[in-house]
Amino acid sequence: MSALVVVLVGLVAGVVAQRSFQLPDDAPRALNIWLLDVALPALTLHVLHGVEIPSNVAIVVAAPYLLFAVTVLIYLAAARLMRLPREVVVALVAATAVANTSFVGIPMVTAFFGEQWVPVALLADQLGSSLLLNTVVLVLVTATAGAASTPLAVARRALARPSLIALVLALALRPVGFPAWLDEALASIGATLTPLALFSVGLQLRLPAVRRWRRELALGLVVKLAVAPVVVLGCYALAGALTDPDVLTDPNVRVALFETAMPPMVAGAIIANRHGLAPPLPSLLVGVGAPLSVLTLAVWSLPLHP
pLDDT for 242-281, tens place per residue? Answer: 777 778 889 999 999 999 999 998 878 878 877 888 888 9
Evaluate whether 71 touches 232 at the Cβ level (below 8 Å).
no
Residue 252's pLDDT is what?
A: 92
pTM here? 0.83
Confidence label for 149 from pLDDT (cuts 50, 70 and 90): low
Q: What is the share, in percent, of the chain residues with pLDDT greater than 90? A: 33
CA distance 185 to 191: 10
Residue 148's pLDDT is what?
A: 57
- Backbone φ and ψ of 101, nearest 5°: -85, -5
Q: Using alpha carbons only, what angle is made at residue 208 by residues 290 and 143, rounded to the nearest 5 degrees?
A: 65
pLDDT, tens digit, 9 for 90 and up, residues 185-211? 998 998 888 788 778 777 877 667 778
**Averaged pLDDT score across all residues of the chain:** 86
**122-to-111, 168, 259, 305 alpha-carbon distances in Å:** 15, 12, 10, 18
Residue 4's pLDDT is what?
A: 65
- How far from each other are the two terminal CA atoms of the chain, in whole angstroms? 17
Any idea what the CATH number is for the domain that residue 13 is in? Answer: 1.20.1530.20
Please indicate whether residue 200 or residue 2 has the higher confidence score (pLDDT).
Answer: 200
Domain count for the chain: 1
SS3 label, residue 50: coil
**229: pLDDT strictly greater than 70:** yes
Residue 253's pLDDT is what?
A: 93
Residue range 123-146: mean pLDDT, rounded: 84
Residue 45 backbone class (left: φ over 0; alpha: ψ -120 to 50; beta: rest) = alpha
Confidence label for 1 from pLDDT (cuts 50, 70 and 90): low
* Least confident range of 77-81, 143-147, 283-287: 143-147
- Go through 29-52 and write b for each residue having 16 or more CB atoms within 10 A of its CB, e for each that does not: eebbebbbebbbbbbbbbbbbebe
The length of the chain in residues reads: 306
SS3 label, residue 186: helix
Residue 211: Cβ-neighbour burial (10 angstroms; 0-12, 13-18, 19+): exposed
Task: Please state, as a whole number, how many other Cβ atoms lie within 10 Å of the Cβ of residue 174.
Answer: 13
* Least confident range of 105-119, 123-137, 151-165, 233-247: 151-165
pLDDT, tens digit, 9 for 90 and up, residues 91-131? 999 999 999 887 788 888 988 898 889 888 888 988 888 88
Confidence label for 302 from pLDDT (cuts 50, 70 and 90): very high
Residue 136's pLDDT is what?
A: 87
Evaluate whether 97 touches 126 at the Cβ level (below 8 Å).
no
Residue 231's domain spans which residues?
2-304
Residue 212's pLDDT is what?
A: 84
